[in-house]
């Protein structure tokens, strides 16, 4: 991308957690609406609403883990996260990076590698516990949402599913809380959680 395409104003990051600020330097994969790679930009540049409103789009993934009881692992993002702090989300969501391993496209293998990396970093799930063959690519979709003020998301999001019992050791800088929920518990729980936040 050219410098005229992306925001020229540097956001003030002093109020944010330094570990999360450092992660803003990661190189995300820029794509068009057909998921064709067109370049790379930092995570910071990709998540500024000023750039999102200009059409900047990047590749991402969402992992949904179900245990042997078919309960869904729901996580709550830490309050230190820059985008969507404290929000409930799927098991793990992040971005493949602009490198050969995570850009490999056949069978979504690069995205699966990225998911394996982030499940370890966020939730402490050993990659040997969830080999790539256990990560099922379901579909991909266009996702766009503002977070707060200057931040947001605009992604081609790969939906990945894992059916497996896993051992968790979450990083509190990434995950505030987590729980397994049966299908009939999910909507009531999220409704109560939204009411609590009012």
Q: Cα separation of 116 and 162, whole Å?
A: 11
Say which residue the tokens 């293998």 belong to: 109
DSSP for residue 191: H
Average pLDDT (10-34) is 85
Known catalytic residue: 46?
Answer: no
How confident is the prediction for the chain on average, in pLDDT? 90
Q: What pTM does this model have?
A: 0.88
Angle of CA points 26, 57, 5, to nearest 5°: 85
- Tens of pLDDT, residue by residue over 118-165, are 999 999 999 999 999 999 999 999 999 988 788 999 999 999 999 999
Model confidence band, residue 182 (pLDDT cutoffs 50, 70, 90): very high
**CB count, 10 Å around CB of 28?**
25
Catalytic member of 41, 102, 122, 155: 155
Residue 190 three-state SS: helix
- Tens of pLDDT, residue by residue over 24-62, are 899 999 999 999 999 999 999 999 999 999 999 999 999
Catalytic member of 46, 93, 102, 153: 93
pLDDT over 80 (residue 197): no
The strand pair at 92-94 and 58-66 is best described as antiparallel
**CA dihedral of 36, 104, 137, 139, whole degrees rounded to 10:** 0
Q: Cα separation of 175 and 127, whole Å?
A: 18
């Amino acid at each position: 991308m050219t410098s005229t395409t992306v925001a020229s104003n540097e956001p003030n990051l002093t109020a944010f957690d330094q570990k999360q600020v450092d992660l803003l330097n990661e190189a995300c994969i820029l794509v068009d609406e057909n998921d064709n790679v067109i370049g790379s930009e930092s995570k910071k540049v990709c998540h500024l609403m000023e750039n999102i409103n200009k059409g900047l789009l990047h590749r991402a993934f969402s992992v949904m883990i179900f245990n042997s009881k078919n309960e869904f692992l729901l996580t709550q993002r830490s309050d230190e996260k820059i985008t969507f702090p404290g929000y409930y989300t799927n098991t793990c969501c992040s971005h493949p990076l602009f490198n050969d391993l995570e850009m490999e496209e056949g069978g979504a293998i690069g995205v699966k590698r990225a998911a394996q990396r982030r499940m370890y970093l966020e939730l402490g799930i050993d990659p040997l516990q969830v080999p790539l063959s256990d990560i099922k690519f379901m579909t991909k979709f266009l996702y766009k949402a503002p977070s707060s003020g200057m931040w947001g998301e605009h992604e081609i999001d790969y939906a990945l599913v894992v059916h497996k019992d896993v051992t968790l050791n979450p990083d509190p800088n990434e995950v505030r809380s987590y729980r397994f929920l049966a299908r009939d518990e999910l909507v009531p729980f999220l409704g109560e959680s939204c009411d609590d936040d009012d």
